[in-house]
Amino acid sequence: MRIGLLLITIFISTAITNAQNKSAVSIQKRDTVGNDLKEVVVTGEYQPQSLKNSVYRTRIINSERIRLKAAVNIQQVLNTELGFRFSNDLTLGTSDVQMMGMAGRNIKILLDGVPMIDRNDDRESLNQIDINTVERIEIVEGPLSVSYGSDALVGVINVITKRPGKEALNLNARIQEETVGKEYSPFGKTGSHTQHIGGGWQNKGWSVMTGLTRVDFRGFRVPGPMTTTEEVVLGGSRWKPKEKWMANGKLGYRTDNFNIWYRMDYLDEEIESRGGYIVNANKSRNQRYLTNRYIHQLQSDYRFSDKLSLSGSLAYNNLTRSTKTTIHDYATGLDNPGQEKGEQDVAKFNSGALRSTLVYKMSDQISFQPGIEINMDGATGARIKGNPTINDYAFFISSELNIIKGVTFRPGARFTKNSVYDAPPVIPSLNAKINLTKKLDLRFGYARGFRAPALRELYYDFIDANHTILGNVNLKAEQSDNFNASLSFAAIERENLSLKTVLTGYYNNIQNKIDYLMSTVDPTKSELVNLDRAKTKGGTFENNLVWKDFQANLGVSMIGTYNRYSAEAKTYGESPAYTWSPEVNMNLTYILPKLGTSVNLSSKFNGIRRSYEAYTDNGLEKVRQTKIGSSTIADLMITKKIFKTFNFNAGVNNLFNITDLSNTSSSGTGPHNAPGQPVASQYGRSYVIGLSFNWSKI
């Protein structure tokens, strides 16, 4: 099958080369390079700002980099970025992200600046965004609690969707086929299959954009109908089949001083969990996890003058997660609803957000940005205690001061009223940027963070036949202090040659960090608790080289983490030391303009990750250190232009065939992971082939 795919790829590539218009060049080199002066950031800024002039250390992943990777979700894009690691929950078929050593619950996920909600503490919403509509991803490391409030303790990932361009009319489509390990059938019952269609129109300030995407992941090592329960357990990692439909639409109107637009995103996701055949009963238990998500957002901005502008957004999120369980009787051939606890369940989460900011430029040296933000969260469901709501009201203000030449200061403060928790009287921050020379910039900042427990952490209980995961209404709010600094050096800046180096460092100190504590007696039981102290510190060293048609990004980082379960650490036998984990990444892109072809190789080494687990020794509860093994992720993709409207891509993901990582934990690595079992990382090497279409009329 692999040889067949390779022969098909070679045949199509050869035919395309002979037929194509040789003058067509598919790659816009400047887009790939990401020139600091041309790349614009919006996250946390008063107005769109060049990357070089931003006071924040911001990373941008633009649409060209996404296209060159042929990614079908955001996890594939961030997998090889420094500081990011993903974990997979094979029981529920979901994934979570870590950033700078901290879990997803401390990371703010934004869609066009609007917060996204999740059913539990995993940031599964990150992979429920249609990658085909993404213009760029902006990543700000360090708390932005002043600007974005709760959850932004570690950083912000802002996914920014495409805006209308110069085209009066645009049509685009994409189809991509991928093996899943060694499993694949064309458009069939194995492998991964992606289809997308979209379009846009604009005239006299009005614009319309729409898109529809289907991603059909058929799973890996999926049990057959007669696979016994024992064989399911012995079979190892089982990746559940998952089908997603994602639809979106956008309507906007723009003039020179006024802009308003409405966007709606819809998700329909089904995850299939097949249980083993119960021999004595001649039955099997099968489950479906169904997710429906609506995101509505209305955004507008108005410029009164060069000195005064107003912007605002109104958003509503609605998330429904259902569990449907059926018992298949092989004697009768009938499917009957499961009757055990948790087998039939519907949980609903909703969130409303209002945000408005005013920017006043007093002079070229002094600017102010006051703003208000209101967030209202609610939840209902059989596993949710009562019908809880949490409302958050905030006023924030910051200023940008350029009083000293080459020096920018941005102090800020946020004042919050939470309906459940007493927030600190003020949440402060201070960021600064200093132009040491024309080529050397220094950034540093301090921010205080505050995160009230979410509804899912307080009131949501997950109980089924195999697990008991309890929310905790007595959780305390998290508070943090963050210090960060970065030094950027543009060593060479020439027309065909540039070299830039960035050195960063950070320190996070979180009080009352919320985490899972598993029972030392029953590993299927866990509860959310407050840790006395959690700390992370580390640094990165990144280098970007552009030489003619070649670009290389090389980086290395060290991440240190420390969790103290109790102020009486010695009582628990806990070591007060940091645990360290290295990362090394590389992204290489080579463009062949005459052939309209690009080659992209991205890879990342993730070092051993250490953590602590609770255990019982002679009746005493203690804590010990555990390890999860290292791995190297590598993806290779070739993209070729066909005439003016088509792009053909073929490549290999997970070149080194990584599957499971070693694990020394005896109590599992999460509430759904089996004790002492290897940690599922990837499902093995996969082969990709795809074709995309993009036609526009100016």
Residue 27 has pLDDT above 80, yes or no: no
pLDDT score for 17: 38
Instruction: Work out the average pLDDT over 102-120.
Output: 83
pLDDT score for 19: 38
Residues 580/558, Cβ–Cβ less than 8 Å: yes
Percent of the chain whose pLDDT exceeds 90:
49
Instruction: Work out the average pLDDT over 367-393.
Output: 90
Q: Which residues neighbour 442 within 8 Å (Cβ) at sequence distance 6 or greater? A: 433, 434, 436, 485, 486, 487, 488
Instruction: Work out the average pLDDT over 179-193.
Output: 89
pLDDT score for 9: 39
pLDDT score for 498: 94
pLDDT band at 546 (very low <50, low <70, confident <90, very high): very high
Q: How far apart are CA 465 and CA 463, in angstroms?
A: 7
* CATH code of 473's domain: 2.40.170.20
Distances 442 to 60, 408, 484 between C-alpha atoms, Å: 18, 10, 11
Element (H, E) at 573: none
Q: How far apart are CA 29 and CA 312, in angstroms?
A: 35
Residue 519 has pLDDT above 80, yes or no: no
Which range among 40-54, 164-178, 266-280 shows the weakest confidence by mean pLDDT? 40-54
Q: How far apart are CA 485 and CA 447, in angstroms?
A: 12
pLDDT score for 22: 38
Alpha carbons within 13 A on the beta-carbon side of 148: 26
242-251, 278-287, 318-327, 373-382: range with highest mean pLDDT: 242-251
Which range among 89-93, 175-179, 601-605 shows the weakest confidence by mean pLDDT? 89-93
pLDDT band at 14 (very low <50, low <70, confident <90, very high): very low
pLDDT score for 71: 93
Residues 488/502, Cβ–Cβ less than 8 Å: yes
Residue 653 has pLDDT above 80, yes or no: yes
At 304, the amino acid letter reads F
Residue 480 has pLDDT above 50, yes or no: yes
pLDDT band at 574 (very low <50, low <70, confident <90, very high): low
Residues 72/133, Cβ–Cβ less than 8 Å: no
Q: Which residues neighbour 23 within 8 Å (Cβ) at sequence distance 6 or greater? A: none
Q: In what order do the strands lie in the sheet with 58-62?
A: 58-62, 134-141, 155-161, 107-111, 114-115
Instruction: Work out the average pLDDT over 658-677.
Output: 67
Which range among 338-342, 369-373, 634-638 shows the weakest confidence by mean pLDDT? 338-342
Residues 257/300, Cβ–Cβ less than 8 Å: no
For 574, other C-beta atoms within 10 Å of its C-beta total 19
For 168, other C-beta atoms within 10 Å of its C-beta total 14
What the block records as the tokens of 17 is 């080369």
What the block records as the tokens of 34 is 């990401």
Which range among 288-302, 550-564, 605-619, 669-683 shows the weakest confidence by mean pLDDT? 669-683
Residue 16 has pLDDT above 50, yes or no: no
Instruction: Work out the average pLDDT over 120-130.
Output: 81
Its domain, for residue 489, covers 2-697
pLDDT score for 125: 85
pLDDT score for 3: 37
Residue 31 has pLDDT above 50, yes or no: no
pLDDT score for 23: 34
For the chain, what is the domain count? 1
Q: How far apart are CA 429 and CA 450, in angstroms?
A: 12
Which range among 194-198, 442-446, 479-483, 487-491 shows the weakest confidence by mean pLDDT? 479-483
What the block records as the tokens of 414 is 């946020």
Backbone angles phi, psi at 465, to 5 degrees: -65, -25
Instruction: Work out the average pLDDT over 544-556.
Output: 95
pLDDT band at 149 (very low <50, low <70, confident <90, very high): confident
Tell me 454's DSSP state: P
At 424-448, the pLDDT tens digits run 889 999 999 999 999 999 999 999 8
The pTM for the full model equals 0.88
pLDDT band at 7 (very low <50, low <70, confident <90, very high): very low
Instruction: Work out the average pLDDT over 506-515.
Output: 88
Q: Please, which residues bridge with residue 638 across strands?
A: 599, 650
Residue 264 has pLDDT above 70, yes or no: yes
**Among candidates 238, 231, 269, which has minimal Cα distance to 73?**
269
Beta strand pairing call for 155-161 and 107-111: parallel
At 314, the amino acid letter reads L
Q: How far apart are CA 137 and CA 60, in angstroms?
A: 6
Return mean pLDDT, the chain.
85
Q: Please, which residues bridge with residue 516 across strands?
A: 528
